[in-house]
Structure 1
Amino acid sequence: MTGSETETVEDLPPSAKLVFKVLEYNGSLTQKQIVNESMLSARTVRYALERLENIDIVEEDIYFADARQNLYTLDEQAVVADGGPDEACCAE
């Protein structure tokens, strides 16, 4: 793991939180699909996925429909342990 081992989704930039939410709502997606859903640039999505992978929230797998692409999925156990970004943002 690179970076701070205590970093959580809450500590990430807004773009990474958006990518997290897109994956949470849509399930497994390729980078292109995340770009389309989030309306972020491909470079921003790559950076966000890298940040999410660094804190073990996102898993990268082979996309069998097109082996040139990867399929990104939320690690549900890590999300539950982390609490996700909703805990801090929704408290009133």
Structure 2
Amino acid sequence: MNNVLTVAEIKRRGMAAIEDALRHGPVHIVKRNKPAAVVLSEAEYQRITACQPPIQPGMSALQWLLAQPATGMRDKADIDAALAEERAW
């Protein structure tokens, strides 16, 4: 955590403190010497959330998992072979 602001600093300087800190990347907010939040620039937030499907009200955890894009390159046979090898020790 290199880019840190305390709640006291935010109260004192307001949005200017956050804007100054955002020039150096995500801002970690500390409250009572404990991490409380992370502030991202709008561009960084959009980059992170761009490839995720939207969460719909009433969506179950299973529905959310199934809606996630596939990231792996292994097929079922590769996974089964790796699991069999791990279990054979």
TM-score range with shorter-chain normalisation? under 0.3
Q: Which has the higher contact order (CA 8 A, sep 6+)?
A: 1
TM-score, length-scaled by structure 2: 0.23
Q: Of Structure 1 and Structure 2, which has the larger fraction of its residues in helix? A: 1
TM-score, length-scaled by structure 1: 0.23
